[in-house]
Structure 1
């Protein structure tokens, strides 16, 4: 049988996706032939400014030379030996580096393939260490799409038609100050964190293994807690004998202007989960704990055939070097400018209800100012406006994500190597798109 050939076009690639891949999320809908820095190029030569970096993955920039070279060098040595059967240098070196750069006394790492796997492994470790089974996570939170991590995810939109296998999961209120009925637009503090205490007492048997939180909620709409909220959550978790699992899958590796978002809040996790930006696009996930917690696993308690692939670990080690060589510091500086510029949009447009974020992880919440929001708090979310603004931006060559619990938040999460000129273009195009869609 002669192999079918296809023209090198956007339509041809998308047609094959429709014919041969199971349905997936394609909301940005930009076929990619190549990428470099902060730029994507499709099969017809159109270029796009990437302000989403593959859902916060290519933090060091598309095609970062040092990361690519490290992966190529390791490919020439060997690709796979199963890191949990044959010890090798890239895995050992990267694990040692993580012990140096992660917060507090976190020391030992388990490598897997994705953020979802990292979260699932962290829950297993917390259960093994504490001898307890129950888990509490955040409403509106997102931790993955496999059945275990999906149970932690506090959004029915991801669960429709699925039946999570972890039954001992409860959820407490997110620190979503803009829409918090307790705080009425103010920053959520320790009093809001006490909802965790309420949920433990009313929805659990107080047999708590872990409390799982994102330090900045990504899929939830770039929701940033206060220091006192975060610190109070850890205090409550420990009061009930539970570990605090901080999910840095989306926030880690410089995304918030610090290597770890936890650093902003002066909170050291008991277990830290990582993925996305870890290897700048190569598949890798990890969870890291103190030696005391990590050694609760016995030999064979947890395993991953491809976890800790030496090529991905070599790339990840180069990636951390790149990030710490000025990229994270630049992200903090650029993020300060971006926060101020987006706040100007909030003042300028009634349909911009709120802007918030850290580093180069910012959300712009679009609303209908003439309608009240859920529970009468703030203006109604406007998912249709966000969808149309995103499409208009794409037509103008700018890719910005859309997310949030109500699907109404424009998500700025560009490669951390983005220039001021590129950021200015992105914000200007966003303002133009809002103008055009609300005129």
Structure 2
């Protein structure tokens, strides 16, 4: 059954209340176990999305050891929401939301399909958070529904027990699963592996630093990258089914706070012991890892590509504590200058003497678009809806067209389709 509706009036609260989605026309497609809320650009590929997700859910049901107790609701945000992101939640229903601007993150995710990667990653989260093996959790969920915590007198009950699991385990496991099905994934990233090895050799992979939120590099990225390689280590040691089965075992706890207890019941060892074994494994496997030697000219905590013109090499650097800066290296004089501004994090480009970065920005009350944005958050009109890759010698732009690249990046040169790609062009 399909029903055309107006998002701002009647699209279910579950999918869009907790994030940025601007009004648009959406349709609903209902299956027995799934509900899809989508805009017109997804209509041609919706059958493929359904088919792939059905296979993923069937596989995950076997590995995680249970079936969903609620219909899965999947939202596909329209192209007026050009953001490279997605999320999953159990509150108030079992649901997930996908944005379609992932072409800008193709190198970071090392994947040949943005949508399939989102399905693998976010559906993992739905399975992680859905089990309720404790009778108290099961009963309280029947009474109050998807609520993080409720009380019987002064006694706390947890209708969604696994919502208490740490992000290092949740996101790491999702990165493991996104990287298992022949599409790529962040476990194939050389950048990610280098970060993990460097952190291990520096003694920075310790339980208190992984389990807690810190104000130190690599910030929240550690949950995904270090967590992902930790989960890969567990899967190689114990098998994927046992690793994914951890979440069902964790949900048996009346007070679902005890990570080491759940680890011991699943793997026979505590979280602390297995994390130490993982660090040692990384050190041994990558004993020949060498850090770059040379004179340090600047430091940055942003992962942003460099770019160049005939006269200079430039990139965006920052420390997350102050406005970022464009670093400019003059090829002739070998001197470095800095241009500080309110730049958004993204690949920088210099056009007609002015610097821009690739980012998403709200250009009107009803449109969030990706393109080249200056340090005043204004978008270059000619870049709207594009992930600029570079320019030919005749100044013609090479770019990914966001609307055409929902599944795989589509390369255009000066408005004409050229080819598809599984990586950035330059």
TM-score bracket relative to the smaller structure: under 0.3
Higher strand residue share: 2
TM-score normalised to structure 2 length: 0.28
* TM-score of the pair, normalised by structure 1: 0.27
- For the pair shown, the structure with the greater C-alpha radius of gyration is 2
Q: Which has the higher contact order (CA 8 A, sep 6+)?
A: 1
